[in-house]
Structure 1
Amino acid sequence: MIAKEFDYQRPATLEEATAILVAHPGETTRILAGGTDLVAWLRDDAVAPDLVVDIKDIPDLRDIRMEGDTLHLGSLTTFTDLIESDIVEEHAPLLIEMASTVASAGIRNRATMVGNICSAVPSCDAGPVLLALDTTVHLAGPGGARSVHIDDWFVGLRQTALTDDEVVTHVTIKLQEHGGAYVKLMRYAGEDLAQAAVGIVVYPDHDYRVAFGAVAPTPIRSARIEEALAGKPLDESLIAEVVGMVPDEISPITDMRATAEYRTHMCQVMLKRGLEAAVQRLAGIGPAYETRLI
């Protein structure tokens, strides 16, 4: 049950949405897209907004398309949309590997990828993958449009670069030939939050991107691990070197779902298996995307 009353508005255009946000300065406002996180937070009294702005009626926010070498994903794109998209399957199957691990089919039908990164919870599935890819978040507000690179998006626990008078319109991912892997540790297969997660992208010139989820206040990239890998073909010695760096790169907690020590150990296991899978996928020798690696 949602105990606290709030105002609800459902704009039909982006301009109307931003005008509503500007007209309510100083108020606690929440954007409603899929609503899977927001509704749960409202029921638990984790948030108490004065105003909820429902953007589901705004056209063109569910668009999936390629623009040259750039993948465009509207902010209302759900995880199911990603899974079922031929465009995503052809150009960015790593997104499907990630999306297929999210909660249940019912949640995937409603939850949006952009909403996932706007929640900015440590365990958000999209975070490590979008950090590993060359992702930009595009916003609309009273000052016009602006863009934020994913490296600058997560600013703290449940905090992002999004301001109170802005709406995310879409994300873009600049694509080139790559192999990737998303490895997620769960208590059971499916319908669970990540206990820990690793997102990896490898390019043909031995350029690596490595990001972790659920082991710090926000999803994080590891510049030190990337630098250690840079320009080098993957072998057992290199894997051992970067696996040994993991404890200094993450800051997991102990909670009801896992201990910090277990999360650290499994991040080392997942980094090793993810790197191996990403390199093999780049070479076209498998394992297939969506193959469980742990």
Structure 2
Amino acid sequence: MSSISDRPAPPLPPRGPKPLLAGRRRLSAHISVYAFVILPMFALAGAVAAAWGWGLSVVDLVLAAAWYVVTCLGVTVGYHRYLTHGSFKAGRTMRIVLAVVGSMAVQGPVLHWVADHRRHHAFSDREGDPHSPWLFGTSPVAIVRGFWHAHMGWLFERDLTNQERFVPDLLADRDMRVVNRLFGLCTLVTLAGPALLGGLITWSWWGALTAFFWAGLVRMAFLHHVTWSINSICHMIGERPFTARDRSANVWPLAILSMGESWHNLHHADPTCARHGVRPGQIDISARVIWMFERFGWVYDVRWPDPARLARLSAPT
């Protein structure tokens, strides 16, 4: 059975006058993007100065690593492989948990994120793709412009994906609509949580402040750039062992940090596959987590790689 991301894109609905409320929501979403992209970047820029001998501790590093792994998997396993592509099935509780943890990565509310990514697959590296690096040509200037656009420039454009068109299944799910509305609360938790833990572990306000900085802001900014690198770098350079209708490629140095998402070529060749790193030595942490969830009985009907299908998808040598 194919997922929504495999189906041809349905025709665009007729454009009509936008209601005032919808316009306000678009403006609010746009302002939020600026806040949650620019502020963490300033935090990341100040990280070197803060770490110079006084602003970093083992507690900060452990908390940052733990929150990074959890929230990154929320995006890769929850937002991406499950909610976007239907690589496996899950019960209601697991579905909600995955959506909430994905929201705590602060990459956008669940309906926005999934709609954007399904649109990306529908028009990958063609007109209509929200973040292709190849929309401006192949000259040196165009490539630089395309990299910026694919990495983060597209986030600043007032081009929200039509949710009625791309995520009708999630819009029909009351739980997903509620999680979408609670994105602000998830953001508060993902920033305040590390600060609270840092303060309790060190029993100091300073410990709370440094944990907020490193395990909150810096961790969030670092995860943003790793995720955006899949949109930019993994559509520009790398190996292409499988046949895809776009320029998706594998970039092995990003494999561990992205939890397996940088094995991007196979993903675009076979979007519903639960494992992206299918060749020997290709570490795919997200696939291993899905495998563990399956063993525990938390997910089922996992779409694991099929050798015959992989053989058909292999690019000619």
Task: With the length of structure 1 as denominator, give the TM-score of the two structures.
Answer: 0.30
Task: With the length of structure 2 as denominator, give the TM-score of the two structures.
Answer: 0.28
Bigger RCO of structures 1 and 2 (CA < 8 A, at least 6 apart): 2
Instruction: Looking at secondary structure, tell me which structure has more helix per residue.
Output: 2
Instruction: Looking at secondary structure, tell me which structure has more strand per residue.
Output: 1
